[in-house]
Chains A and B, each alone.
Chain A
Amino acid sequence: MHKQGFWGYIFTLPFLINIVVFIAFPVGFSAYISFARWDLFNSPEWVGLQNWIRVVEGREFWIGMRNVGVFALIFVPAQTLLAFGVAFLLNQAIRGKAMWRLFYFLPVITPWLAGGVVWYWMFNYRYGVLNWLLSSAGLTSIRWVDSPHWLVVVASIAMVNVWKGMGQSMIILLAGMQNVPKEVLESSQIDGATGWKQLTKIVFPIVTPMVFLVMILSTIAAFHAFDVFLALFGSISAGIPERNVVPNLIIYRDAFLLFKMGPASAAAWLLFVIILVITLFQKYFEKRWVHYD
């Protein structure tokens, strides 16, 4: 046998470098920078809690959190419910499964900006196809992402996100549903269980771990939303309207447009901590309703 230790380190060397250079150093440095004033060019200057206080006491970060929070409250249940419904349908004896799956999955692999520019055009108030559909149905046009009603803006963004992300949740749920033993379904049918009963009493309990996974993943995705705002609201200039601001946009703007590395780092850490707390809370909640064998 070869020298275990020697070859072990030789083979893992690329990742060891990765850990040191691209993970350990950046994490430590970013923590330090969150307590410093730094413009990327001159040397950093320690300022204590100043950046953190500025982010925590300022309005903008919390408006961003509220925006993204409301967005998650609309997006996560909508996406989970629709993905569950589609997965359930595609798990039935239906022809052309691969084709249907492809149709639902295509948005997932589409580059965000490509999807974004199409939706942006479909949302157009005067020439957009969505308003044309509404008006042909005798309804009034909507301003969608330009709406004066903030909830309409958030709901429009959620709609684009559901389109983009639903396929991925559906695949995970579908994989879970395929674990439901066929015999169980068949015997339940002999016992007189209807489709609805099967769904609520057999399929749903068995896939709850996947439902939970899908909800955690989409919650994290919601709080990290960035590309959709870039695609729908255009260029990120130094001034982002307050109602469209999300934490990741603030971090990007502060760091790479304003070169305020300190506040950007503090905001990045704060966002990370908040997402961690939400995930842990969901994890705690999980024990109460997720069914494991």
Chain B
Amino acid sequence: MTKATPPWTKALMYLLVLAGAVVMMFPFIWMLSTSFKTLGAVSQMPPQLIPNPFRFDNYAEVWNKVDFGRYTFNSFFIVVFDMAGSLLSCAFVAFGLAMYKFKLRGLVYAFMLGTLLIPGQITMIPTYFIWKQFHALNTYVPLIAPSFFAGAFGIFLLHQYIKSLPKELYESAVIDGCSPPGIFFKIYLPLCKPALAALGIFTFMGAWNNTLGPLIYLQDRKMYTLPLGLMYLKNESSINQAVIMAGAVITTLPVVLVYLLAQKQFVQGIASTGLKG
């Protein structure tokens, strides 16, 4: 198409893409801009895009006074365990499903796809009850433990990947006298890196952005994650908008950085599965 496209069409295309991008980016720009404003400048009309004076103290305030330092740590704590649990268990189960023939294999595979259809609202109350029985309310256990039991989405992603690896790998390892766990940990797990990277990013985003889980399970304010911290800030009428925006920036920044580092895997994951973590 390139050669025949008239210049005015090209210009129009760029203009449209640019206009759309400005609209999409505007809330981020506004978040960032407001986060550096003084209390007076926050509600000043006309609003300033580049704050003058430029105030960094909102970050110090939200980080220390409103405990966002702690919320950031809490969020990271949960995310790290979730990632470790979900990567390991999903690869483990996917390996079993892909490599061994056993009686219930077809059924387990069907269940795996079936569970994707069951909405969280249905299982939410009984699951809450389970954790209550285990005295795990107001701990991070309900937010972390389930990831060690292999979610369907992750199994699906890794199953497709392991299936695409040559079977001879397994056979030659058997001839060399390697046990099944050895084959999994020494050969297949390292080979799954690209698929694990994609799943890792999905898990990161899912755990980092999770609101409902922490909302249900965490009562103690010291245990809050960043989204809950933001909700608390927003409902606290005495807190200045600029400080709230600094909190929003702190909440957003890690996901954006992770995304930038691993854009390719993430986009491919979405494009090939049509799903988000």
Q: Which residues of A are interface residues toward B (Cβ below 8 A)? A: 1-2, 4-5, 7-12, 14-19, 21-23, 25-27, 29-30, 33, 40, 82, 85-86, 89-90, 92-94, 98, 100-122, 126-127, 129, 132, 136, 163, 166-168, 171-172, 174-175, 185-186, 189, 195, 213, 217, 224, 226-227, 230-231, 234-235, 248, 251-252, 255-256, 261, 264-265, 268-269, 271-272, 275
Contact = CB atoms under 8 A, between A and B. Distances in A.
Interface string B72-103: 00000000000000000100110111011111
Interface of B: 1-2, 4-5, 9, 13-14, 16-17, 20-21, 23-25, 27-28, 30-31, 34, 42-43, 45-47, 89, 92-93, 95-97, 99-105, 108, 111-112, 115, 118-119, 121-130, 132, 146, 148-151, 155, 174, 179-180, 184, 205, 208-209, 211-212, 215-216, 226-227, 230-231, 233-235, 241, 244-245, 247-249, 251-252, 255-256, 259-260, 263, 266-267, 270-272, 274-276
A94 B17 contact: yes
A93 B1 CA distance: 7
12 contacts: A23-B123, A94-B13, A94-B17, A106-B25, A111-B209, A113-B251, A171-B270, A175-B271, A231-B231, A252-B212, A255-B124, A269-B122
Contacts of B272: 175
Nearest to B9: A195
A33 B127 CA distance: 13
Given A26-B123, A109-B259, A167-B24, 14 more contacts: A4-B102, A8-B97, A12-B96, A12-B97, A23-B118, A40-B128, A89-B17, A98-B263, A113-B230, A166-B24, A171-B270, A235-B231, A255-B128, A272-B122
A213 B5 contact: no
Contact of B150 (A15, A92, A172): A15
Given A8-B102, A175-B271, A235-B235, A111 B208 contact: yes
Contact of B24 (A19, A26, A106, A132): A106
A9 B20 contact: no
Nearest to B184: A11
Nearest to B105: A8
B17 A136 contact: no
Contact of B234 (A101, A110, A117, A217): A117
A127 B45 contact: yes
Contacts of A12: 93, 96-97, 102, 105, 108
B237 to A, nearest CB: 10
A156 B46 CA distance: 22
B118 to A, nearest CB: 7
Contacts, number: 279
A118 B121 contact: no
Nearest to A98: B263
Given A98-B263, A114-B248, A7 B180 contact: yes
A33 B100 contact: no
Contacts of A226: 211-212
B146 A22 contact: yes
B207 to A, nearest CB: 11
Contacts of A168: 270, 276
B92 A14 contact: yes
A27 B123 contact: yes
Contacts of A227: 211-212
Contacts of A235: 231, 235
